[in-house]
């Protein structure tokens, strides 16, 4: 009998990220529409003498392998909840860009949680797992559920959103990451002294997702973290322009960046756009992916 459990878990793009003013606790209220995209990490857990994390893939050297790894924190949290020592080897086969605004660490946390839950046969309900996810980070519950969802509060209170078709994306991966807390601090700096409106989900965006219409979605995308991400990394403007010139239906920063996301008409257009972006020299590499994608899934 195999003692290993593997879970496949997707990246996300925020098709709307409306950010409110900083709260007294430092967090920001959000209206955050997540869309899972078909770029995946695979998280494998195997019983071991002690908790240990390994990682493979092109960005593996940027992933911490100590107790700060979000997958290790997820295993520890689930073990603590059930009185189980989290003695597992967690291997992350990483394909999601690291520190790229695509929730790769959150994906690994959700993947490790689901994998350990299956390995230890804890009998946790979906709601119990979601509560543990929310304790690990604002984006982690969505990595578990996938598809598309509206997140309010810090983004962790989720409502499913209907998607009526397939959307084709290109993601331009930048050299180096951007720290999400630093991007929020830049948002605070840029909006200091102004009245930041309460974040509200866009009905036009929800209609566009429901209709599966690429042109409608292209016109409805928005990201309040784009200005602060561009302020910290002005070179991203060149990547966005290169994608637009190459025929993208829309171009935006993915979450807190520095990955940039481009909407394409169909699969062929996405491939051509990825080639053009790679050739433009404004990004490290460009990847195609479709959405929506399923959430964390046992392999
Ligand atoms: P988000 O979109 O949720 O803001 P992100 O995609 O920008 O996140 P991550 O890839 O999640 O960023 O990584 C952010 C930081 O988290 C990394 O720089 C790394 O130090 C740390 N980290 C901890 N665990 C992991 C993990 N399993 N994979 C990647 N990074 C991790």
Model confidence pLDDT, tens digit, residues 89-128: 999 999 999 988 999 999 999 999 999 999 999 999 999 9
29, 95, 117, 139: the catalytic one is: 139
Active site residue 12: yes
Q: What is the reported pLDDT for 156?
A: 77
Percent of the chain predicted with pLDDT > 90: 93
Mean predicted confidence (pLDDT) in 20-48: 95
One DSSP character per residue, 23-81 reads: PTTS-EEEEEEEEEEEEEEEEEEEE-SS-EEEEESTTGGGS--STTSHHHHHHHHHHHH
> CB under 8 Å to 8, separation ≥6 — which residues?
40, 41, 42, 111, 296, 297, 299
- The number of the ligand 1 atom at minimal distance from the alpha carbon of 138 is 3
Angle at 165 between CA 164 and CA 166, to 5 degrees: 150
Task: Return d(Cα 224, Cα 90) in angstroms, integer.
Answer: 35
Mean predicted confidence (pLDDT) in 169-190: 95
218 has pLDDT over 80:
yes
Q: What is the pTM of this model?
A: 0.95
User: Tokens 């994906």 — which residue?
Assistant: 107
173 has pLDDT over 50:
yes
Q: What is the reported pLDDT for 1?
A: 46
- Residue identifier of the C-alpha nearest atom 18 of ligand 1: 99
Q: What is the reported pLDDT for 189?
A: 97
179 has pLDDT over 60:
yes
Contact 11, 96 (CB under 8 A): yes
Active site residue 108: no
Task: Return d(Cα 237, Cα 42) in angstroms, integer.
Answer: 32
Q: Ligand 1 pocket check: which of 65, 99, 101, 180 to mutate, most ligand atoms within 8 Å of Cβ?
A: 99
Q: Which residues line ligand 1 (CB under 6 A)?
A: 63-64, 68-71, 92, 98-106, 108, 139, 177, 180, 255-256
Domains of the chain, first to last: 5-161 (3.30.230.10), 167-291 (3.30.70.890)
Q: What is the separation, in whole angstroms, between the first and last Cα of the chain?
A: 15
Q: What are residue 151's DSSP bridge partners?
A: 32, 158
Model confidence pLDDT, tens digit, residues 234-285: 999 999 999 999 999 999 999 999 999 999 999 999 999 999 999 999 999 9
Mean predicted confidence (pLDDT) in 1-6: 81
Q: What is the reported pLDDT for 2?
A: 58
Distance set, CA 29 to CA 195, 214, 285 (Å): 14, 28, 33
């Amino acid at each position: 009998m195999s003692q290993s459990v593997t879970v496949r878990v997707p990246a996300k793009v925020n098709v709307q990220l409306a950010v409110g003013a900083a709260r007294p606790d430092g967090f920001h209220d959000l209206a955050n529409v997540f869309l899972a995209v078909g770029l995946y990490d695979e998280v494998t857990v195997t019983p071991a003498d002690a908790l240990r994390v390994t990682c493979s893939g092109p960005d593996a050297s940027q992933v911490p392998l100590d107790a700060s790894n979000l997958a290790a924190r997820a295993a520890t949290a689930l073990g603590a909840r059930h009185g189980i020592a989290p003695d597992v080897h967690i291997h992350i086969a990483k394909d999601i860009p690291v520190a790229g605004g695509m929730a790769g660490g959150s994906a690994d946390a959700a993947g490790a949680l689901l994998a350990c839950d299956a390995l230890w046969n804890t009998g946790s309900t979906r709601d119990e797992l979601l509560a543990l996810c929310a304790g690990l980070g604002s984006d982690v519950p969505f990595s578990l559920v996938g598809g598309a969802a509206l997140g309010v509060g810090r983004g962790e209170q989720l409502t499913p959103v209907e998607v009526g078709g397939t959307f084709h994306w290109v993601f331009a991966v930048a050299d180096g990451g951007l720290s999400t807390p630093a991007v929020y601090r830049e948002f605070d700096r840029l909006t200091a002294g102004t009245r930041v409106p309460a974040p509200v989900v866009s009905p036009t965006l929800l209609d566009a997702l429901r209709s599966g219409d690429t042109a409608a979605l292209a016109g409805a995308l928005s990201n309040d973290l784009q200005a602060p991400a561009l302020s910290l990394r002005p070179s991203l403007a060149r990547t966005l322009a290169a994608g637009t010139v190459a025929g993208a239906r829309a171009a935006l920063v993915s979450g807190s960046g520095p990955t940039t996301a481009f909407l394409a008409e169909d699969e062929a257009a996405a491939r051509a756009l990825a080639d053009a972006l790679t050739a433009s020299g404004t990004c490290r590499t460009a990847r195609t992916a479709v959405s929506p994608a399923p959430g964390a899934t046992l392999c």
